[in-house]
Structure formats: structure tokens, C-alpha cells
Amino acid sequence: MHNTIIIGSGPAGWTAAIYAARADLKPMVFEGYEPGGQLMTTTEVENFPGFEHGIQGPDLMSVMRKQAKRFETEIISAMVDSVKQIDGGFEVVSKGQTYQSKTVILSTGATARRLGLESEKALYGNGVSACATCDGFFFKGKNVIIVGGGDSAMEEATFLTRFAEKVFIVHRREEFRASKIMQERVKANSKIELILNSEVIEILGVDVGHVTGVKLRNTVSGETSEMNIDGVFASIGHEPNVALVKGLVDLDEKGYVKTIPGTSQTNIKGLFACGDVQDSRYRQAITAAGSGCMAALDVEKFLAGHE
């Protein structure tokens, strides 16, 4: 039986692995469907302490992975299909193979929310993008829409102006949730135009195989209109990846895994959670890493108390 299985490979998962490995627990990490997590689709990370001049998100994750590997972490590049409680621990199933572990650290993170439109799905990769930093490049001199009203929407809109001729921010409400500094940056940018009190109800172009426009609905008047556009990006928040433990652990009212305040302990003994899957509030690389450290120390203590 393994000491601990870590599910997820963002900053929380790798930090947990580094600490658990250094405590000689020989952790096993399942990297999942999107190894490296959300930082893999960011560019410059300027607020992770220790990198004076910033570091690219994917580079940061690659270094963390190497660091975990250096201390005898077993890495499995696969998704976990299920987790259940067994006598003395947990049973984790991945690709038809079963693994048993005394503890589990859940660090499955959160995934960007989509608009949830059929046309969005149909045109994904053909003008609909889930990654502004990956795909902005292909919209040189074109017009794009970004849906959202938070800091990351403002950040991505600003990033997209490097390539696009015009960036329209479509937001459901009159006011943005974004911080003042980000809003001001956006308002001062002549390439950005705001379309407020509006939502995208359909993406046009399914018939021709690429995005040609969008159908908008005014959230106040209910009126609909169409506009021509070449690309659609969405930045409308995140959903915690809890599918794996639904029904097993308690979730909070926002749907995130509930942990005992000040610890990484869930309501199930031996099951710990860290990173964005249990944090709807801070959601930073550094807080995720910090909570990953907490989870590994909690596991160490838990195992010591059981021997």
C-alpha cells in the first residue's frame, strides 16, 4: 500500500509531492488530463516569489515537476478515474489499474468555465479559444470578443490587443468585478471597446466551419443583435474539479471541497485537499503551493499517528 497518492499536478500537487518525498513517503502523483494545470496557459508569472524577473507559467511548472522528481516521486501521466474508501485507506483506479494508498491528496484544481453553447463546442479550435495566450497569435489584425468582467478578462483583453485590431469585452452587467487598476488599464486602451449589459447567446459560423460572428442579447432590454467577429474568448471564472470526489467528501456552498479551516483535512479521514479545488477565495499559484505544503505535512502527521 502506498503512503500517499497525489491527484493533480499544478503548484499544489507538486509542492505536496516535494514535501512528501522529502519526508521519505515516496508519493505517487497522477498528472491528469492537463499536466501542470492552469499555469500552463499563462505567460509571465510576475508574482511568484523567488523569480525576480518573472517566469513563464509553463517553465515554472516544469521546474516544480523536476524538483518533485529529484526526490523520488513516482509520476504517472494519466487521469484518475475513481477514488473510493477501503479498509485502512483508499483505492484509486486509473486506466483499469488499481492502486491502494493510506492517504490521498486531492489537488485537481479548477477548470475555466465555458459559455456552454452548442455553437461554442462546434467551433472550438476554429475561432473559439480556451487559451488567449496560446491562440491570440492567430488573430493578428482581426477582431475578437472576450466575454467576462473580472481581472483575468481584463488581463486577457489587454494581452489580445498585442495581436488583434480590436478587442470587444462583452459583459453581462453594467459594472466590472475587476480591480480598479485593471479596469483603468482597459479603459485607457484604444484597441479595447466595451459592450456592457450584453451576453453572447450564439456563435455564428458553424455552417462555414469557422467563427464569423456572434449573436448578442441585451440583458436589460432583451433585444438581440448580431455582430461580425473573427474570434471568441471566454474568461468567465472557474469551476473546481470535484467530479472525482462528489458524494465522497463534503463540498462548501460554492461547490469547492470543504477543509477544516487552517488545515487541508476534509471530512474524510486520510483524504486531504489543497490548491484551487478547495480555494474559491485566493486562487494564486503561491497560495496553492502553500496549501500543498500543508497537505503533505498533514499527511505526514496523520501517518505517524497511525503507525
Partner 1 sequence: MAHIFTEANFQAEVLSSPVPVLVDFWAEWCGPCRVLGPIIEEIASEVDESKLKIGKVNVDQNAHLSTEHRVLSIPTMLIFKGGQEVGKIVGSMPKEELLAKLAPYLA
Contact footprint for partner 1 (CB under 8 A): 33-36, 39-43, 56-58, 61-62, 77-79, 95, 124-127, 129-131, 133-135, 137-139, 210, 231
| Smallest distance from partner 1 to CB 80, Å | 12
Catalytic residues: 131, 134-135
C-beta closer to partner 1: residue 118 or 184: 118
| Smallest distance from partner 1 to CB 222, Å | 32
C-beta closer to partner 1: residue 62 or 219: 62
| Smallest distance from partner 1 to CB 125, Å | 3
| Smallest distance from partner 1 to CB 78, Å | 6
Quote the CA–CA distance of 151 and 183 in Å, as a whole number. Answer: 8
C-beta closer to partner 1: residue 10 or 270: 10
C-beta closer to partner 1: residue 160 or 249: 160
